Structure 1
Amino acid sequence: MENQQKQNWFEKAKPFAAVVLIQFGYAVMDVISKDALNKGMSNYVFVVYRHAVAFLVMAPLAWFFEKKARQKMTLSIFIKILVLSLIEPVIDQNLYFLGMKYTTATFAVTMTNMLPAITFIFAWILRLEQVNIRSIRSQAKVAGTVATVSGAMIMTLIKGPLLFGTHGGNDQTQNNGTSTQRTIMGFIMITIGCFCWASFMILQAITLKTYPAALSLSAWICLMGTIEGAAVALFMERGHPSVWSIKFDIRLLCAVYSGIICSGVSYYLQGVVMKSRGPVFVTAFSPLCMVIVAIMSYFILAEQVFLGRMSGAIVICLGLYFVVWGKSKDYGPEDPNTQEPIVEMDNTRKENLTCCTHGVTTATNLGNGNTTPSEEQV
């Protein structure tokens, strides 16, 4: 019995451990990629190298471990892979890193906290998410979604006084972080990227139902993302062949680390977790990444922390807490002794509904030949 309880606890803890690992990986990537971009690395070239590395790592693993699990490739699945590799590896990541250039690493990663809210809305529309508006937990999901978006707007429009960091700072941080116009541009780019990322999560969850080989799907996405990203980079960086050169410095480290951890491993882990927990669960842990990036950026990149943006981040965290709490009963077998709270109707509506139900039941019994109400009706 004790061993079984430990095993059950381990099975329940695995999805949480996986998403926490993903967020740690993203946090390190945000800091080192900001440093690489500050030193002149092209975001378009970075995206290509990142997914090329991811494919070289994931393809052998997929070939070895999923020989029997792979489904036959069909035209429908291949089209989904093409769309997946376009909306996240190409569009989302390029917009995200461009937005980071205009702002700071902390601002960029905090803005991605809108992702759970956007994913929740998409999943609700596509009926991948359970919503009962009379349920307190469903109301918490909706309220948390609204709070998350509101917090993102506060972060963008209200800077406030300086909390941490020197007023002088470094020149790069000042140029990237203090202009309102640049902040709004970064906000627009990152927000569009979040919509692409949420769409990627939803489509990946749908694709895994017909193509359940998560490693192979990750490898395919990285391969097609490399090809599509290379086409975009060649167009955007035409006339600048020097941007493709890479040396043994932070730029090489950024491409290798991001490719292995944040594309290959993350695509695979989030696909595995989505099979049992859904896309909203995977995106609900974004605030952890924000906290890690804020701490690392303050010490490593000397980024400044302002009151308005900190307030917006707190609102986002509170909103996401409500979303996670609302989803806590969505998984696993339900306990028959536990009933989810339901918002009570007022007495007048309840009496009217009871009378109507009693009248219909009585009429039905009389129509069937019953001359007296049953005990349950009384």
Structure 2
Amino acid sequence: MEGISATMQKCRPYFLMIFLQFGAAGAYIVIMATLNQGQNRYVFIVYRNLVAALVLAPFALIFERKVRPKMTFSVFWKIMALGFLEPVLDQGFGYLGMNMTSATYASAIMNILPSVTFIIAWILRMEKVNIAEVRSKAKIIGTLIGVGGALVMTLYKGPLIPLPWSNPSMDQQNGHTNSSQDHSHWVVGTLLLLIGCVAWSGFYVLQSITIKTYPANLSLSSLICLAGAVQSFAVALVVERHPSGWAVGWDARLYGPLYTGIVSSGITYYVQGMVMNTRGPVFVTAFNPLCMVLVALLASFILHEQIHFGCVIGGVVIAAGLYMVVWGKGKDYEVSGLDNLEKSSLHELPITTKGDDDTRLASSIADGSNLSVPDGVHRNTSGEYK
């Protein structure tokens, strides 16, 4: 049972990150459907982060009331910066870029996220790189391969893959427009997505720093969402002054903020904070290419987006880079654990005072803890105490 428990504990970060990618793929589809219905993207951001803050706040108040650290000026400004990086910059530019291209294309561009995060973490010396080590080479080569796969998907479309459920005529009959075909907005949309990607990478790195000084995941996530809602509300008041733009109904304008607020903001911030606390930001972002594959499949079914042959080739290349980065991070984690074990083994054995020698020695041997050797008790060559 102990072996099974240890294996599950080791695989837990992988399962959690795969689960998040399924949730993120659904968010791309929901966001695109909501934007297609005409809702302002900044209004959507306000509702999304407000929902996330309201959902997370009760759990944070109940489960972290005893472990929540005091708010300091430094932590406050980090939370405000996190709210600006992800909810305002990343979501604002990302949604606009997605609207100019497509959900599949946006998810493909975001595959550069692990590379940007790796570079930022490397610059800040949060990510150790030694060219002589195999695991460092794997991370660097995997990052380059991931960028190459994203470039393949961006620059080479290739022929369409004939799928019966992604017929362009169905798109026109349903009133949907495939913005990926609008080449006049393609370059601008790509630049906006890249700006959002850099902001998202900065969010990951800053979140990994903040979680060390404010180790209350639920509270931190709810505060980030609240900060993002307040800042995006100020922006939305400027760009959307008509009351009709704030209206919601029993459609994607209601379901979109609910889904993305609970899954993409609330649950995602909390889970990735837990994983990031032990594995770091590069490990978290390395799973993003999986989201691209899921979005391509879902978008072809639901939004009737076309899948090009270049998307398949790029997806395979990115998957190879993903494997190398995750393998390198796994080796980093193993070496880090080994180093901690070696350091802990160097601690000197504590010396107890005179008294109940036999009782303390027997209990130490029985429970397998650090042996506490009393005065007057010596060990002979056979390993016995006398």
Shorter-chain TM range is 0.7 to 0.9
5+ residue gaps, structure 1, are: 337-378
Q: CA deviation at 1:186?
A: 1.8
5 Å-filtered alignment, 1:28-107, equals 28-107=26-105
Secondary structure, aligned partner of 1:328? helix
User: In the alignment, which of 244, 249, 258 is matched to residue 246 of structure 2?
Assistant: 244
In structure 2, distance between residues paired with 1:335 and 1:45: 48
Output the CA distance in 2 between the equivalents of 1:288 and 1:320: 9
Deviation at 1:335, TM superposition (A): 12
- Give CA-to-partner distance per residue, 1:232-281, whole Å, 9 cap, x none: 1111223x321100011122111101101110111011101111110111
- Of 272, 276, 280 in structure 1, the residue corresponding to residue 282 of structure 2 is 280
Aligned with 1:67: secondary structure? coil
In the alignment, which of 9, 13, 21 is matched to residue 15 of structure 1?
A: 13
Is the contact made by 1:160 and 1:306 (CA closer than 8 Å) also made in structure 2? yes
Structure 2 counterpart of 1:263: 265
Query: 2:206 corresponds to which letter in structure 1?
Result: L
Task: Tell me the distance in 2 between the aligned counterparts of 1:181 and 1:152.
Answer: 21
Separation in 2, partners of 1:297, 1:167: 13
Opposite residue 205 of structure 2, the aligned amino acid is: I
Distance 1:224 1:198 in 2: 18
| 8 Å contact from structure 1 (residues 201, 279) kept in 2 | yes
TM-score by length of 2: 0.83
Aligned to 2:230: 227
- Could you tell me which amino acid in structure 1 is paired with residue 73 of structure 2? L
- Structure 2 residue identity aligned to 1:221: I
Rounded to whole Å, the distance in 1 between the matches of 2:340 and 2:128 is 17
Q: Among the aligned pairs, what percent are the same residue?
A: 49
Rounded to whole Å, the distance in 1 between the matches of 2:176 and 2:319 is 25
Paired with 2:124 and 2:215, the residues of 1 have a C-alpha distance of: 20
- Name the stretch that deviates more: 132-141 or 212-221: 132-141
In structure 2, the partner of 1:183 is: 186
Deviation at 1:151, TM superposition (A): 2.2
Q: Deviations over 1:88-144 (max 9, x none)?
A: 011101111111101111111111111111111111111211211012221121111
Given candidates 311, 329, 332, the residue that maps to 2:331 is: 329
Distance 2:275 2:178 in 1: 39
Could you say which residue in structure 1 is the equivalent of 2:374?
none
* Contact 2:27/2:264 (<8 A) preserved: yes
* 1:317-348, Cα deviation, whole Å (9 max, x unpaired): 22222211222211133799xxxxxxxxxxxx
**C-alpha distance in structure 2 between counterparts of 1:200 and 1:49, whole Å:** 20
User: Which region of structure 1 is more displaced relative to structure 2, 222-231 or 155-164?
Assistant: 155-164
Deviation at residue 150 of structure 1 after TM alignment? 2.2
| Correspondence for 2:213 among 186, 210, 234 | 210
Q: Aligned match of 1:115 in 100, 113, 116?
A: 113
Q: CA deviation at 1:51?
A: 0.5
Contact 2:102–2:179 under 8 Å retained in 1: yes
How far apart are the structure 1 equivalents of 2:93 and 2:321?
Answer: 25
Residue of structure 1 equivalent to 2:316: 314
Rounded to whole Å, the distance in 2 between the matches of 1:294 and 1:173 is: 17
Say if 1:134 and 1:181 are closer, same or farther in 2 by CA, change over 3 A.
farther
Q: Per-residue deviation at 1:54?
A: 0.5
Residue by residue over 1:146-197, the C-alpha shift from the partner in whole angstroms, topping out at 9 and shown as x without a partner, is: 2222222222222222113435452466540113332222211111111101
- The residue type paired with residue 338 of structure 2 is P
Q: How does 1:151-166 map to 2 (within 5 A)?
A: 151-164=149-162, 165-166=166-167
Amino acid at match of 1:286: N
CA distance in structure 2 between the partners assigned to 1:51 and 1:167 by the alignment: 34
Q: Tell me the matched-pair count.
A: 333
1:298 maps to a residue whose letter is: S
SS across alignment from 2:331: coil
Q: Deviations over 1:185-231 (max 9, x none)?
A: 22111111111011000000000111101110001101111100101
Q: Aligned partner of 1:12: which letter? A: K
| Partner residue, 2:378 | none
How far the C-alpha of 1:316 sits from its partner, in A, is 2.1
Letter of the structure 1 residue corresponding to residue 27 of structure 2: M
Alpha carbons 1:204, 1:271 under 8 Å: kept: yes
User: Per the alignment, in what secondary structure is the counterpart of residue 170 of structure 1?
Assistant: helix
Structure 1 stretch displaced more, 153-162 or 14-23: 153-162
| Correspondence for 1:196 | 199
Q: 2:276 & 2:137 partners in 1: Cα distance?
A: 23
Q: Is the 8 A contact 1:156 1:183 kept in 2?
A: no
1: CA distance, partners of 2:176 / 2:144: 31
RMSD after superposition: 1.7
